[in-house]
């Protein structure tokens, strides 16, 4: 199988993996860009959790979490179907027993071993997405317990800000995991383009990366979210209540 790989194929695959890992590190990992949407949303979730702690009725908050869980469940189910379909493609190629494969006029004729490798890479991308979606679902379930155990606080204090920050962090980890699964679909499009050719694979990988980076850093949504986070920060109450005014002086009679 390795003998069927050209230098362009090796470069394209290495670039694909490097760009994917690098993007995850810069936007969801330890070195994420502070001006990105993902970073701004962390601050917004902390404000959300602070408001949640000061209201008794939290049905709306639980509903929002439930909607996100349903989205993750939908993606996980769809991913299983895609994996099964791709495994079926591998099975049909093995049954045909031909040395070369050509899916349509758009795709170049490819050696069978190389075609199987490309299909396996595509399957691996969706398996990665499946694990991310299922782990996100479990994290959202954990957060449901955190939401149910959140205390009801009548006034902002240093303690409730600490609780809100921890709750926002737990929720953010679940969201980042879900984002990683959705992002895998973008890179699956790039992996699919490998069937056309290695140069097309390289171009599609770079194109998907440009699309994702633009949305995170330079889109109208990013600017609106950044403005909203700044407005929320300016409107936040102080972390601890101001001290009571001193009593008026009294004179002895």
pTM (two decimals): 0.83
84: left (phi over 0), alpha (psi -120 to 50) or beta: alpha
Q: Which residues pair with 111 in a beta bridge?
A: 100
pLDDT score recorded for residue 159: 58
Asked whether the beta carbons of 168 and 160 are under 8 A apart, the reply is no
User: What pLDDT score does 213 carry?
Assistant: 92
Q: How far apart are CA 118 and CA 89, in angstroms?
A: 12
Phi, psi for residue 248 in degrees, rounded to 5:
-65, 150
Q: What is the pLDDT along the chain (253 residues), one digit of tens a residue?
A: 455 678 899 999 999 999 999 998 888 776 777 888 988 999 899 999 988 988 888 999 999 999 999 999 999 999 999 999 999 888 777 654 455 555 555 555 567 788 888 999 999 999 999 999 999 999 999 999 999 988 887 666 655 678 889 999 999 999 999 999 999 999 999 999 998 889 999 999 999 999 999 999 999 999 999 999 989 888 765 444 444 444 544 444 4
* Spacing of C-alpha 167 from chain mean position: 18
Which pLDDT score, from 0 to 100, does residue 243 have?
A: 45
């Amino acid at each position: 199988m390795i003998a069927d790989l050209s230098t362009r194929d090796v470069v394209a695959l290495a670039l694909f993996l490097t760009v994917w890992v690098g993007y995850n590190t810069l936007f969801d990992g330890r070195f994420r860009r502070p001006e990105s949407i993902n970073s701004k949303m962390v601050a917004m979730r902390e404000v959300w959790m602070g408001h949640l702690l000061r209201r008794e009725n939290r049905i709306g908050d639980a509903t929002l979490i439930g909607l996100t869980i349903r989205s993750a469940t939908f993606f996980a189910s769809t991913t299983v179907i895609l994996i099964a379909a791709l495994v079926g493609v591998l099975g049909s190629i093995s049954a045909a027993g031909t040395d070369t494969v050509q899916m349509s006029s758009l795709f170049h004729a490819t050696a069978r071993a190389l075609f199987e490798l490309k299909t396996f890479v595509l399957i691996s991308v969706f398996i990665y997405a499946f694990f991310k979606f299922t782990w996100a679902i479990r994290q959202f379930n954990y957060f449901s317990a955190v939401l149910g155990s959140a205390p009801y606080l009548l006034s902002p204090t240093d303690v409730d800000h600490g609780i809100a920050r921890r709750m926002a962090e737990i929720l953010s980890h679940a969201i980042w995991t879900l984002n990683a699964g959705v992002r895998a679909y973008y890179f699956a499009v790039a992996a699919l383009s490998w069937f056309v050719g290695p140069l097309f694979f390289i171009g599609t990988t770079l194109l998907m990366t440009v699309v994702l980076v633009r949305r995170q850093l330079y889109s109208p949504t990013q600017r609106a979210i950044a403005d909203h986070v700044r407005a929320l920060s300016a409107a936040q109450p102080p972390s601890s209540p101001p001290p009571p005014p001193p009593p008026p002086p009294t004179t002895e009679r």
